[in-house]
Structure 1
Amino acid sequence: MSSNYLKTPPRIKVLEALGALADGRVEEVNEKEALVRSSDGTRTYKVYVDISRREVDSTDNGTIYRGYVGYPIISFLMTKRLLPINEKLMQSLRGIPWKKLNEEYKNYAKVMEVIIKDRELNETEVNKYIDQVLSVLRRMNLKRVQKYHEVAEE
């Protein structure tokens, strides 16, 4: 199995992961595997996490094609309480059509701006929470092992 260390994800992926939890889209299969449904329900990502070995895999585009820790991995790590969860913020992120917004704006920073404005969130608190999660994620120093051989849709 080949392995590569994964990069820190775009900031919005922390919010997407928290939104997946808020919407109940994370299903733990066993201690090391989960299924995470996309926001529009058209895809289900397979996720593998072996935290003792710092090894992960996921069938999402960010993990496969862009080499960063994709939101399905982040959401599974949150479910396992290995990453911080902000309950209040989580409730504010229910029902967001992430895929639709990402395709419409084609700019993660713009999508974050729209969500913060539309949901009337405190931008400083949101950024502080994202910084906290990304800091823990960086210290995890996760590497991708090719557990799944499927290819995500681009």
Structure 2
Amino acid sequence: MKQPPIAKLYEAYSAIADHRVQQPDVNRWQITSSDNAQYYTVISSDDAQTFSSNDNATYWQGYPGYPILAVWLTLGVLPINQKILPTFEKINWHARNEAVHNHYEQAINQFLSEQTGDMAKIIQQSLDDQMSQLATLNFTIKRNRSPKK
């Protein structure tokens, strides 16, 4: 499995914090974008070893984009750090990323600068640890052609 950039985990945390992950049936989730302009569809295989999504990162880059990461957080594949979760509420990553011309590191640094020094360190350490956990996962990632709405 191709490793996503850490920015996708930040976006996934915001999706969880804002309750933008819905599960209409057992193998399907809908994740609303941070600007509420569209939603993405994540589908898992019956054995939950294959996940597909129609977000741009998954579709074009082949790594799990933030919708799949948000589903994995929801399912407990990656544990949610409840202590940091409230800091991710109401963060419009789409607007932030667009403002820095998709230089994700700059958007993350802006977000971290808005936190207390201790909280910024806790967030960074927690998500770094989760990226290490992510590197050990063995899922198949595919794109799906579900329409974005």
Per the alignment, residue 124 of structure 2 pairs with 127
Q: Of residues 35, 38, 54 in structure 1, which corresponds to 2:33?
A: 38
Q: Secondary structure at the match of 1:140?
A: coil
Q: Of residues 108, 112, 115 in structure 2, which corresponds to 1:112?
A: 108
- 1:1-150 matches, within 5 Å, as 6-50=1-45, 52=47, 54-106=49-101, 107-120=103-116, 122-146=119-143, 148-150=144-146
Letter in 2 for 1:120: T
Structure 1 window deviating more from structure 2 (40-49 vs 135-144): it is 135-144
Q: How many positions carry a matched residue from both structures?
A: 147
Once the two structures are aligned, what percentage of the paired residues are identical? 28
Q: 1:116 to 1:129 in 2, by over 3 A?
A: same
Letter in 1 for 2:109: E
Q: 1:133 to 1:141 in 2, by over 3 A?
A: same
What CA RMSD, in Å, does the superposition of the two structures yield over aligned residues?
2.0
Gaps of 5+ in 2: none
Aligned-pair distance for 1:133?
A: 1.6
Distance in 2, matches of 1:75 and 1:89, equals: 15
Distance in 1, matches of 2:138 and 2:46, equals: 10
